[in-house]
Structure 1
Amino acid sequence: MVQHMNSVELLVDADAFWHRLQNDLQAADHEIMLQMMTFEGDRTGQQVIEAMLASEAPCKQILVDNYTRFIQSDKFIYHPKYWSDQDLKTEVRQTHAMFEALIQEGGQVRFTNPVGPFLIHFVGRSHKKLIVIDNQIAYIGGFNFSDHNFAWHDLMFRLEDPAIVEFLRADFMATWQDQSQPSHADFGDCEFFLLNGRTNEATFAILLDLLCSAQKSLHIISPYLTFPFCAALAELPQRGVPVTLLTPEGNNKGTVRDYLLWEAQRSGFDVRLYDGMSHMKAALVDDRYLVVGSSNFDFLSYRIEEEVLAIFSNPTVIETFRQQVLEPDLARCRPFDGQASALRGWLSYGILRAVETLALFSRRIKSTQVIDTAVRGYPVMPKES
């Protein structure tokens, strides 16, 4: 059980997160372990590496998904329309140089989930955001290390509970050693689920049961909520339980936005549009259970992505979340009172179902979560034009 609330700290938005993390990185004297889906060589990424290099910790390890080798600044770097994008080329080279600088100083970098031939495994990503420092401090949440991610509304939890930190450190090391397995631990008023992308449905069955057990209210925050969550949650309004969905008005994924607004409206959800881009993911059930972590509550999380999920039942954590996140965000939202396009909704639904089919095929033919340790030569650098 989390005995003291100073062992759990909610950090809302990048300034609060970076202030705490920078101090923790620089004070580390034993080990720093960082796992992110994206880690880019812009100002944000470089300041993280600089803080790591300033630390006296002899062990510095980074796990970053192969996604970063192909997507930077939300752009597929090999798409023809970006061949003349000099800023993007510069960022790609800076990312390579950033990791090389850490390696030259004794750090280690590994890339998870190679995409395979013809990008066949591209949808199967490690979506975890996990930081462990000196086996004393851990962070979980939604932030990646890039300028555009730091500009988005998001949150992280800083944890100092020894048992939780040790549990999360063990997961990092399992991934580092290419032995990632699903894992679960119950710490009393905080329960953790670590998903390996191959058996996620069993864990999400537990989560869906919790969400659908709401008797008074369900608040869910996500930019990318999709099936099977929407269909499962649609039963709540039918029995008189309000579902309030907070999702960004400035969504960076248009296909998901078109599907979500259409699906949520026809499911009877109270849709609130956040002013700007929010990357936050959370669900509050009856003001009793708070679900947070890296999952977007979407079909990719459900089917194939590696995730970190935590369920808090501690009343102080939940009240802090209400005061620092839910109430301010509701005040910044506007009700979606328009009419979602059924045509765009259906078309988007079809596209997302096709991606799901690819994800299931990829999972069937992928026998292991291979770790790609090749750093030099990452990524294939676009030539100067």
Structure 2
Amino acid sequence: MSASLTREVIHGLPKVLLHDHLDGGVRPATVLELAAEIGHELPVTDGTVEGLAEWFRASADSGSLVRYLETFEHTVAVMQTREHLFRVAKECVLDLAADGVVYAESRYAPEQHLERGLTLEEVVEAVNAGLRAGEAEAAAAGRPVVVRSLLTAMRHAARSLEIAELAVRYRDEGVAGFDIAGAEAGFPPSRHLAAFEHLKAHNAHFTIHAGEAFGLPSIWEALQVCGADRLGHGVRVVDDIALGEGTVTDDPEAANRAAVEDPSSLRLGRLAAYVRDTRVPLEMCPHSNVQTGAAPSIAAHPITALARLRYRVTLNTDNRLMSDTSMTKEMTALVEQAGWGLDDLRWVTTNAMKSAFLPFDERLELIEGTIKPAYARAAEGFHP
């Protein structure tokens, strides 16, 4: 089945995206144009879109955290006015729709867009307006897509309660939930308990970046102390899954094989079992995880073993610009390098839609009315 799944076929499949950063998906051409407009100096001097796109990709691939973080300095710099935020948000929706995405959650940190005098409220309203305009244009072009936003607070800063209050205030205007992001080590999510308590008091949804750069304590705290609905990345849950005398982390390729051939040979620790038993959604981002060193390769990415063990795995892009990726590219890589088939893609897409911060009836409508029929049609052309 996998051999028949070409990139073109995959491109035509409906996709659901839960973990995508707005400032990590700006078009290179837009960065170039807006930087020139505001006088922001870019690190590439040849003035070409291709050169700038390559700089972003190479910097993210460099293995240097300093260079990786520098890439966001340039995208955030061109997202400081209402007009620019509107444009970036609208283009985000159009790019996702062109990739076959039918539902997405785009996350950004309002506190990072105040350098030119905007208020937090004005930032949120500008992004909301851009997302709605993008949805309308995509629908008119025959590519309907629903895009909601997640408001992110930076875990090293002290505005999380303020951002949580903002997420609650705007949840009827397209803000689906809240997120905590930034360096995990040294900045535990429990520093932001007031924000999480406010969200829970108002029955609001939230996810937490956990289990990527830091290990099991990050995951445990996000779930058991903070009460997260989902885990951003969560890849390090495999540190609590035993393979022989070691863990999945020691030999992920062997773990993937074992998960396919004999899942019982993988032994789940208490936390890993809890994550699976309670169906905690894992927002996994293969290309990004390889860039940051959280996974050794696409073929050896733990997403395959976790999928075979029936975790609530979802597939995501993280930062489309920095990783030079899309949902089509993420899916194609798993098909070509990790042996995924059409059923796997349908399953992971349905997982994501089930896990979306969207009302149940709207999730069900997309699953039953869009995702299932499209995959059923695709399956008619395959003979396993």
Is the TM-score greater than 0.5? no
Q: Which has the higher strand share?
A: 1
Q: Which has the higher helix share?
A: 2
Measured against the shorter chain, the TM-score band is 0.3 to 0.5
